[in-house]
Amino acid sequence: MPSTERFSELTEQARRDPDRVERIEEAKARALDEHASYRLAELRKALDVTQVELAELIGKSQSAVSQLETGEIGLSLEVLRAIVTQLGGRVEISAVFEDRRVLLDA
């Protein structure tokens, strides 16, 4: 029968292994990037804008918009601002803590 470990024990082992911590952080960053890309496609579709139309608005190719939405290329803050501005919105950046949220960019 395989040995059983508590999740807290596994978590503690991971924290003590710098290589594992780095891999976990890289995986988190990739997941967040993928989520942001998916949300970009969702926003574009909700506003009834095609990839071609968005590409024209921000001065990129349709292929670049597609790559942004699939996470093939990273979504920079500058490009995100351009997209949101062209779609009629604005980007707000905040730092979130347990007890408060601080708006960093309006």
Amino acid 50: pLDDT: 96
Question: What's the token pair of residue 102?
Answer: 């601080």
Amino acid 22: pLDDT: 83
C-alpha distances (whole Å) from 78 to each of 6, 44, 82, 83, 85 are 43, 17, 6, 9, 11
- Number of continuous H segments (helices) and E segments (strands) in the chain: 5, 2
End-to-end CA distance of the chain: 57
Question: What's the whole-model pTM score?
Answer: 0.59
Enumerate residue ranges in the chain where pLDDT < 70.
Answer: 1-3, 5, 30-38, 106
Amino acid 21: pLDDT: 79
Amino acid 35: pLDDT: 61
Alpha helices for the chain (secondary structure H)? 7-16, 18-46, 51-58, 62-70, 77-86
Amino acid 34: pLDDT: 61
Domain 7-105 falls in which CATH fold?
434 Repressor (Amino-terminal Domain) (1.10.260)
Q: Which of 72, 75, 64, 73 is nearest to 40 (CA)?
A: 75
Average pLDDT taken over every residue of the chain: 83
Where are the chain's structural domains? 7-105
